[in-house]
Amino acid sequence: MRIVTLLAIITFSFIPINVFAQDKAGSPDAKATLHTQETKSAKTLKTDKKDVNKIIQLDAITVTGTRTQESQLKQALKIDKKDEEEIKIDQTIFQKDLLNSLSGVLVTQTGSGIGHMLSVRTPITTLPYFLYLQDNVPVQSSGFFNHNALSYTNFETASSTEVLKGAGTALYGSDAVAATVNVQSKAPTKSRETTVSTKGGSDGYYHTYTQTSGPINEKSSYRIGIGRTRNEGWRDHTQYSRHETMARYDFIINDNNKLEASFSANETNADQAGSLIGRHDLKHNHEFIGNVDDKKDTVKLKRKFDFARLSLKWDNYSLENIEISTIGYLRRNRNRYIATWENGLPSNDSRSKSFGFMHNITRKFSRGKVIIGLDFERTYGEEHFKQLFDFVPTGFGTNIDQGNIFDYDVKYHAISPYIQTTWNINSKLIAKAGLRYDYNQFDYSNNTADGKYGASKWFRPSDGRNSFEHYSPKLSLSYFPQETMELYVRYANGFRIPSATRLYSQQRTTGATTFKLDEEITNTYEIGFKKVFSKSSVDLVLYHMDIRDTITRRTDSVTGDRFYENGAATFHNGLELSLQQNILDFFSTKFSYSYSKIKFHNDQDFDYNNVSLVPRHKGNVRLFLTPNEKLTLMAEGQFTSSYWMDNENDNKYSGYTIGNLKADYKLTSSWRLFMKLNNIANKRYAERAEFTFGEERYTPGSPRQLFAGIDFTF
């Protein structure tokens, strides 16, 4: 049945078409028709004639759900978007600057400054519950997840960003469990322009970015950007540098065919700090390097990210009411770091090279549309994990000899056909259904001796193959009592496969215990309400998400082996609220709030306890003042409530509230000035607080910092 389904979709997807056809009946109209329904509300809801404040987009157009433009109001899911005008005033330095104003989203920076963790309907976590995209294309392979994946995107210079909450649509497979994050770069302009941007500020921060864009001829256009960042870091041993390059070329072959070629690359080199131990250091010694101070002269505490991707997108409209889209890509990732959370401070070097394509066909009917697609990826990965010196523990732990702990290769491939349908039952009811099938396979080759590494906890499995398959159904129903109001219910199933390091970088005390891991399964249930008024909008969703067969570390009571197994479960309940209002022509507000409660479900270790690192309340409020077309001022408050620091629910962190001020001034049509003051009260707080290994560990948040910059466009 699986093979029949796959062959049927492949056959339909690759139907023959005339690439260079000039005069297919209705082809330009077909393109317009496909987007008529999705963009109708956005065109009819623009009521503010003066339109001085462009920050508030009452009904934004998003692309993440289907890779085509759709009105936010017409989608039965929670998807938040930040547009270019708001990103400009945020003046992005860290990943949190780009995303933390969206409802339910909390990015926390790690000890390397540029590293990060994410919480969206989850704890603050490094687990692979998030799918990261750059211009609709994944920035990493599902088999080689890196929780710092936003560093692979052009987050510093993004034109817009979208976050789809909960399990993804049928277009997305493994890792699209709690959120799909899509960072968008700017398209080429219709007229030639060049912008030079530079900004600097506290603690030796400096960033410069130069981009140029424009038409080559009437059928083609381009954009090229080059950037460099250097930051000395406000905290000891958190200096980093970053280089970023992007290029895009758009070419209209004819009325029916369009090509888009893009290249993106970045390189990050960062020092690493550790955790602060105890609240005294958090309050009175927050600039301290932390619990790795005595190791910084033993090894070079560094984290390095390298990323490059080349992609080619082809859109075809040759057939009436049919849009065909194919994206092919080549990608390279490298992630190097010192594992500061391990007592022996081993070094890690993960490398992967991928090629793949994403192909789909959208067929429009009088009562709806159908999207049929096929995704494929092949990845070649390497893992090098080394102990740089002979380690002898002073307390807890085992001896670790200097040498190669792990050295293995993995060949990974994934193939995923899917279908997603939209049926307009009548003028007020729209039903959507989708189904995706994923097949993922790892071929593992160990380049060192099998078995336990010396007296350490590390264990090298022998060569082998692991495969995973999963069907993900999706279903939603929308009711529109008014053109500008939507009530919806949604169900979406999703999953995430174990990563290569979880499968093959094993920890066992002896070789007696063997284990096999399956994928984790998730179900998202939502009830949502959206309403756009003449000068305001509201977007509210209540959700339940369960994650079953979660991969959990256990200890064998007989052998003492530490190993991973499926079997645990967590239940996630909450709500997310987004409010926007143009109170006056020159004054507007945005308010984002989320409530989250996550509990274990009959866990053998934690019973029904609250999961740690889950703020019950998260909020962001923004006040925009735009007295004229040149000046925009913003006051912002960020709130995170208390949360448990451990799964035993014995230790709690109180949370924090910080305030920021930001300004953007268009001096002339060519010159733009901007400035921001973060943490105006200079509050001492923790980005992340946990209780582990019998002690409180904190990642401190940034103190008061001032940044300013200037853009020149010609």
Q: Is 5 helix (H, G, I), strand (E, B) or coil?
A: helix
Beta pairing class for 179-184 and 130-134? parallel
At residue 58 the predicted structure's pLDDT band, cuts being 50, 70 and 90, is confident
Q: What is the pTM of this model?
A: 0.92
Q: What is the mean pLDDT of residues 251-256?
A: 96
Q: What is the pLDDT of residues 218-250, one digit of tens each?
A: 999 999 999 999 999 999 999 999 999 999 999
Q: What is the pLDDT of residues 147-168, one digit of tens each?
A: 999 999 999 999 999 999 999 9
Cα–Cα distance, 85 to 54 (Å, whole number): 7
Looking at residue 563, what is its pLDDT?
A: 75
The answer to whether residues 362 and 326 touch, using CB atoms and an 8 Å cutoff, is no
Looking at residue 34, what is its pLDDT?
A: 37
Beta-carbon count within 10 A of 291 CB? 19
pLDDT reading at 90 higher than 50:
yes
The CATH superfamily of 2-713 is: TonB-dependent receptor, beta-barrel domain (2.40.170.20)
Percent of the chain past pLDDT 70, that is, above it, reads 90
Beta-strand ranges (E) seen in 321-428 are 322-338, 347-365, 368-387, 403-424
At residue 2 the predicted structure's pLDDT band, cuts being 50, 70 and 90, is very low
Structure tokens at 331: 């990608």
User: What is the 8-class DSSP label of residue 648?
Assistant: T
Q: Which of the residue ranges 266-280, 378-392, 505-519 would you say has the lowest mean pLDDT?
A: 505-519
Q: What is the pLDDT of residues 515-548, one digit of tens each?
A: 689 999 999 999 999 999 999 999 999 999 999 9
Considering only CA atoms, give the Rg of the chain. 25
Cα–Cα distance, 486 to 491 (Å, whole number): 16
Looking at residue 604, what is its pLDDT?
A: 87
Looking at residue 43, what is its pLDDT?
A: 40
Q: What is the mean pLDDT of residues 10-17?
A: 38
Structure tokens at 63: 């692309």
pLDDT reading at 273 higher than 70:
yes
Q: What is the mean pLDDT of residues 38-59?
A: 52
Amino acid (1-letter code) at residue 248: R
Q: How far is CA 122 from the centre of its chain?
A: 13
At residue 512 the predicted structure's pLDDT band, cuts being 50, 70 and 90, is low
Looking at residue 20, what is its pLDDT?
A: 34
Looking at residue 24, what is its pLDDT?
A: 38
What phi and psi, each to the nearest 5 degrees, are found at residue 669?
A: -65, -20
**C-alpha dist (Å) from residue 484 to 79, 138, 247, 368, 464:** 17, 33, 38, 19, 55
Q: How far is CA 176 from the centre of its chain?
A: 9
The structural domains of the chain, with segments of one domain joined by +, span: 2-713
Q: What is the mean pLDDT of residues 383-395?
A: 89
Looking at residue 45, what is its pLDDT?
A: 42
Three-class HEC string of 66-112: CCCCEEHHHCCCCEEEECHHHHHHHCCCCHHHHHCCCCCEEEEECCC
Cα–Cα distance, 244 to 269 (Å, whole number): 12
Q: What is the mean pLDDT of residues 180-205?
A: 96
Looking at residue 559, what is its pLDDT?
A: 62
Percent of the chain past pLDDT 90, that is, above it, reads 81
Q: Give CA angle at 120 (118, 123), nearest 5°.
A: 70
**C-alpha dist (Å) from residue 599 to 1, 378, 524, 667:** 38, 37, 15, 52
Looking at residue 4, what is its pLDDT?
A: 37
Q: Which of the residue ranges 30-39, 277-286, 344-353, 420-429 would you say has the lowest mean pLDDT?
A: 30-39
The answer to whether residues 138 and 168 touch, using CB atoms and an 8 Å cutoff, is no
